[in-house]
Amino acid sequence: MEKLSVSALSKLLRYALYFVFCLGLFVTPFIHYLLHTFRNTVMNTEGFEEFLKFSMLTRGNITSGEYYSMVAEVYLLGITMLFIVSRLIKICRSTERETPFEKSTYRALKHIAVASFISVVFYIVKFLFFPAAPGLMLAFTFIMTGLISSVFSQLIKKAAEIKEENDYTV
Amino acid sequence: MIIVNLDVMMAKRKMSLNELSEKTGISATNLSILKTNKAKAVRFTTLDAVCSALKCQPGDVLEYEEDLK
C-alpha cells in the first residue's frame, strides 16, 4: 500500500512536471515578444505605471537598459526553471523505480543547487546596476532553492553510502 | 585488508556455488559478492552457515593481508 501510494504520487508529480516543462518550452522562446506586448499595452496605462514605478523601485520611465536587463532576467528565469524541472523529472523517475537513494539523485539535486546559485549571482549583479524589486525576490527564492537542494543532496549522498554498505553486507 | 578465501575452501570440499547456496540458504548473488571480495561486512549467522556447510573454521575462509600502498 505504502509503495503503491509513493509511486502513484511520484507519477502524478511527474506528469504535472511534464506539463510545466512543455509549457515552459512553449513560452520561453517568446518571452521577448510577450514582454514587448506587455510594455506596449499594460504599461502605458496611467495607474499601472505608478504601480510599476513603485514596485520596480525606478524613479521615472523605464529606460531601455532597465527593460533589456529585465528581458535577460526573465529569459534566465525561464531557462533555469526548465533545467530544474528536467532534473526533478529525473528524480521522480528514480523514485518510481524504487531506487531513490542513488548517485544520480544526488547529482540531480547538486545540479539544481549549482544552477540556482549561478542565477542568484546573476540577479545580484543585475540588481547592483538596475535595482528592481522582482529581481531581488527571485534572488531570495533561488537562494532558498539552492540551500534546500544542496542540503538534501548531502542527505541523499549519506543515504546512498549507507544503502551501498547495506547491500554489500552478506 | 580482509580477504575471503571462499573459493579455495569450496574447491577443497568440491562444492559448487549453487550447492553451497542450497545448503546454507544464502542466495547465490550474496555468495558471489562474498566470493569476489566485494562484501563490506559479513553477518555472524552467514559465517556460521558457511562454516557449518563447508565443515571448517572461520580462519579457513577469512584471511588478513597487510595493505600494499
Does the pLDDT value for residue A91 go beyond 80? yes
Banded model confidence at residue B38, pLDDT cuts 50, 70, 90: confident
SS3 state at A6: helix
Q: Which of B20, B40, B43, B47 to mutate to test the interface with A (most CBs of A within 10 A)?
A: B40
Q: Is pLDDT above 90 for A16?
A: yes
B27 occurs within a structural domain: yes
Q: Average per-residue pLDDT in chain A?
A: 84
B26, B33, B46 member nearest A168 (Cβ):
B33
In a domain, B55, yes or no: yes
Exposed (0-12), middle (13-18) or buried (19+): which is A91, by Cβ within 10 Å? buried
Which residue is closest to A170 within chain B, CA to CA? B42
- What would the DSSP string read from start to end of B11-45? HHTT--HHHHHHHH---HHHHHHHHTT--SB--HH
Q: Taking CB atoms and an 8 Å limit, are B46 and A170 in contact across chains?
A: yes
Helices (H), chain A: 2-27, 31-41, 46-56, 64-96, 103-129, 133-167
Minimal CA–CA distance to A36: which of A2, A82, A71? A71
Distance CA A58, CA A161 (A): 51
Task: Map out the domains of chain A as residue ranges.
Answer: 2-28+72-163
Position A149 confidence tier, pLDDT thresholds 50, 70, 90:
very high
Q: How confident is the model at residue A61 (pLDDT cuts 50, 70, 90)?
A: low
pLDDT-derived band at A65, boundaries 50, 70, 90? confident
Shortest alpha-carbon distance between residue B14 and chain A (Å): 22
Cell numbers for B7: 573459493
Give me the CATH number covering residue B33: 1.10.260.40
The pLDDT assigned to A58 comes to: 57
pLDDT for the residue numbered A100: 83
Counting the structural domains of chain B, the total is 1
- Dihedral sign of CA atoms A104, A110, A114, A120 in order: positive
pLDDT at A47 over 70: no
Tell me what the pLDDT averaged over chain B comes to.
89
User: CB pairs below 8 Å between A and B: how many?
Assistant: 23
B52, part of any domain: yes
Per the document, the length of chain A is: 170
Q: Which residues of A touch B (CB under 8 A)?
A: 164-165, 168-170
Residues of B in contact with A168 (CB under 8 A): 33, 38-41
Residue A66 and residue A131: Cα distance in Å, rounded?
Answer: 9
Domain containing B38 equals 2-64
Say whether pLDDT at A117 is over 90: yes
- Type of residue numbered A114: V
Asked whether residue B69 is assigned to any structural domain, the reply reads: no
Q: Say if CB A168 and CB A149 are below 8 A apart.
A: no
Distance from CA of B31 to the nearest CA of A (A): 8
Q: Which residues of B9-27 are buried (b: 16+ CB within 10 A; e: fewer)?
A: bbeeeeeeeeebbeebebe
Q: How far is B47 from chain A (nearest CA, A)?
A: 9
